[in-house]
Structure 1
Amino acid sequence: MKKITLLILMMIFGLGLAQKVKKEEKAKDKFESRQPQDMSVPPPPMVAFPAQYPNGNKAFIEHVKKNLNTDALKSLGKDLKTKIILKVNSEGNVMNVSTYGGNEIFDTEVKKAAEKATYKIQWEAGKNSRGEKVIDIVNLPFKYSNT
């Protein structure tokens, strides 16, 4: 009798204290559930072929390094990093240059050098999957070593 009572009590407590398992929500689902959805607005264009500097983006990074004012960077430390962010329109013109990193002086110098490297330079515009030219945002990491 004791075993049956114990078994019944265990089942009651097991069912009574069981937790409901929530479906795992992703951050995207949480964000979209809070935002009103306007179905008349089309999604942003997907860039299948990103914008390119003439001779490639590595050539752009090298051009930025050549234009960099190294005298202003001598006191900043050895290894400096930032990200160069460019907005290239559908004609291939650079509309905006910005930098994002941990050192404001370094970011400013890299931005100046990147603006010089893009001055009157026609980029190859980004293209979507249908081959249409679109506005593109280009993110390029930039590293400089003070040696």
Structure 2
Amino acid sequence: MKKIILLILMFMFGIGFAQKVKKEEKVKDKYESRQPQDMSVPPPPTVAFPAQYPGGNKAFIENIRKNINKDALKSLDKVMSTKIIVKVNPEGNVLNVSTYGGNEVFKTEVKKAAEKATDKIKWEAGKNNRGEKVTDIVNIPFKYSNT
């Protein structure tokens, strides 16, 4: 009797633990299966040499510091920061200036100062790894202390 019960229990455990386990699906696989890639669309160009302000991006930051309206920032925090995003075309002309992060008043003032600093100034265009000039987006962090 004990042998029969033991045999039945082993048989039940064998069936219970013999189930196939579903393979864990990765997030990457999940989204790639939903969105097939179109191979006729080339990948975005990689910029090996990013666009630069004449005299370097430090000179750009210094021009912003000169052009910023300090009176509008007096009532704000002592130390503020934002990110300046500049889009430069292959000819070196600035297409767009925007700011990201931080206080709204501060972002607006920095954007105005950056637009003044880039007005009628040709940047050195970004180049890909073949040396061809390409449109580039430059991210420059900007910190300002109100002291």
For 1:24, the aligned partner's letter is K
Residue of structure 2 equivalent to 1:9 = 12
42-51 or 129-138: bigger deviation: 42-51
Question: Which segment drifts farther, 104-113 or 43-52?
Answer: 43-52
Determine helix, strand or coil for the equivalent of 2:18. helix
Pair 1:44 & 2:44 matched: yes
Q: For residues 44 and 83 of structure 1, do their structure 2 counterparts lie closer, same or farther at Cα, with a shift above 3 Å needed?
A: same
Gaps in structure 1 of 5+ consecutive residues: none
Pair 74,128 (structure 1): closer, same or farther in 2 beyond 3 Å = same
Moved over 2 A (4+): 1-11, 32-44
Counterpart mapping for 1:12-91 below 5 A: 12-16=15-19, 19-26=21-28, 30=31, 32-35=32-35, 37-91=37-91
The structure number with the bigger radius of gyration is 2
Cα separation, 2, equivalents of 1:5 and 1:86:
74
**Aligned counterparts, 1:97-116, within 5 A:** 97-116=97-116
Distance 1:56 1:37 in 2: 39
* Helix, strand or coil at the partner of 2:9: helix
Report the Cα offset of residue 38 of structure 1: 4.1
Amino acid at match of 2:42: P
Displacement of 1:23: 3.1
1:33 Cα deviation from its structure 2 partner: 4.3
CA distance in 1, matches of 2:15, 2:88: 66
Kindly provide the amino acid, as one letter, of the partner of residue 5 in structure 1.
Answer: I
Match of 1:127 in 2: 127
Q: What per-residue deviation string (whole Å, max 9, x for no partner) do you get for residues 10-50 of structure 1?
A: 2222233x6413231228x61x5444644443332211111
- SS of corresponding position for 1:26: helix
Rate the CA distance shift 1:41–1:23 in 2: closer, same or farther, 3 A.
Answer: same
Give CA-to-partner distance per residue, 1:79-138, whole Å, 9 cap, x none: 212111111011111111111113111111000110111112211100011100011011
For 2:132 and 2:125, how far apart are their aligned partners in 1?
Answer: 9
* CA distance in 1 between partners of 2:78 and 2:13 (Å): 65
Quote the RMSD (CA, aligned, Å). Answer: 2.1
